[in-house]
Structure 1
């Protein structure tokens, strides 16, 4: 083989090796075993059940679709912006904007709780991305910037080499996965039924992702204010299984 071709082949293999290594981190970010606390939250589903707005599989499907639409409109812009520009200043600024945008205390606390856990786990696990730990240390030291989940998720996606389209779909997937898991534990649907439901809603989730993808944070908005109200009522439930 000619020297130039040999060198080109070595570079290609090196790039493939780097890309393959990053993919393992990307997959781990979506793994349910990652201890980020997402399964401690029902996204308002538990309150919706007690308010008798969700009482069966059909209601559940409608709830999940509305939740995905609201997630896309409100949070995907923050995932998108941090994935494109995963720097400390941009991430902290987006955290402040989202903190001012979220309209109920239960949702705000849930976002910060999950974001803090995700950032802590990522900084400890992804040691090949040292900037994660340094960013976390600086932000924890300042004590003034909240760790909201959507910007943290986008930041990590950007630093592990995930493109913006994939990161936004991944965020929608994590949201869908977690709320269906909550529905299973609330006995709305069984494990097999949950898998069937997740597959059925996948096409809807893709449509919602395309609908709200690649938007600036200035376009972030609520599309389902009733869901926001329900989540805000979670703290008043007499008995509850989830944190939100």
Structure 2
């Protein structure tokens, strides 16, 4: 796996991901996740839906960054991911993380490719900028897909420790057992990396969309630990 992808997947990367729970906080507040026993089902479902979507667009962005794209391609990718993200709250969260990642990435891997991307999409979706950075650094689509696929479960897992006081060793074991599925999702994403943006997969996650909207409403009424 490319070093850039490893850095992006590291919880210490200053992209702002630590303030997002990926829907876990809302699931906890509804009593749907209360222990380590409930966590695998939530994480696996998230990986196969939101994670698979993020992986596909990260792979496509890495492919585009490595090969050079014509003007307008980044905007097309951005709009296609928007179309596959029906929840406004989810779009806001993705763009917030994307902007934070772009700022950190511009310092670590400055490139005219990233400059062009930000000129077309000043607040890019998180998977797109992650994939672009991997491609800029010399990584391949599978690297980008693996990084964001991993992030789709590692972020909520870390949130579970903070929200429920779970055993971090047990939670880490849950994430480790998802390794084969992360690789499978990343492989499927890499296989379509060169497709036209309109042809990229569109796995849905209605429950996560509803959780995101409910969390956004509740966040206005009371202080929540996570922004999403």
- Scaled to the shorter chain, the TM-score interval is 0.7 to 0.9
Q: Shift in Å at residue 135 of structure 1?
A: 2.5
Partner of 1:15: none
Q: Which moved more, 1:33-42 or 1:167-176?
A: 167-176
Task: Write the distance in 2 (CA, Å) between the matches of 1:72 and 1:213.
Answer: 13
CA contact (8 A) 2:58 2:144 kept: yes
CA contact (8 A) 1:83 1:156 kept: yes
| Structural mapping, 1:65-76, within 5 Å | 65-76=44-55
Secondary structure of residue in 2 paired with 1:75: helix
* 1:97 corresponds to 2:113: no
Pick from 35, 38, 46 the counterpart of residue 14 of structure 2. 35
Partner of 1:227: 208
1:175-234 CA-partner distances (Å, limit 9, x unpaired) = 222111111111252221222222122223223334554234424223431122112211
| Structural mapping, 1:69-88, within 5 Å | 69-86=48-65, 87=69
Q: Shift in Å at residue 137 of structure 1?
A: 5.7
Partner of 1:201: 178
Task: Write the distance in 2 (CA, Å) between the matches of 1:24 and 1:72.
Answer: 21
Partner of 1:242: 226
1:148 and 1:123, CA in 2 relative to 1: closer, same or farther beyond 3 A?
A: same
Task: Write the distance in 1 (CA, Å) between the matches of 2:6 and 2:73.
Answer: 25
Partner of 2:104: 121
1:106 and 1:188, CA in 2 relative to 1: closer, same or farther beyond 3 A?
A: farther
Q: Any unmatched runs of 5+ in structure 1? A: 1-22
Pairwise CA RMSD? 2.3
Q: TM-score, normalised by structure 2?
A: 0.85
CA contact (8 A) 2:63 2:141 kept: yes
Pick from 63, 67, 84 the counterpart of residue 42 of structure 2. 63
Task: Write the distance in 2 (CA, Å) between the matches of 1:131 and 1:172.
Answer: 23
Q: Which moved more, 1:144-153 or 1:44-53?
A: 144-153
* 1:176 corresponds to 2:153: yes
Q: TM-score, normalised by structure 1?
A: 0.79
Secondary structure of residue in 1 paired with 2:178: helix
Task: Write the distance in 2 (CA, Å) between the matches of 1:222 and 1:137.
Answer: 26
Q: Shift in Å at residue 48 of structure 1?
A: 0.8
Secondary structure of residue in 2 paired with 1:229: helix
CA contact (8 A) 1:104 1:228 kept: yes
CA contact (8 A) 2:52 2:149 kept: no
1:144-176 CA-partner distances (Å, limit 9, x unpaired) = 654111111111111111111122112111222
1:33-57 CA-partner distances (Å, limit 9, x unpaired) = 2110111101111011111222222
Task: Write the distance in 2 (CA, Å) between the matches of 1:243 and 1:72.
Answer: 19
Q: Shift in Å at residue 126 of structure 1?
A: 1.8
Q: Any unmatched runs of 5+ in structure 2? A: none
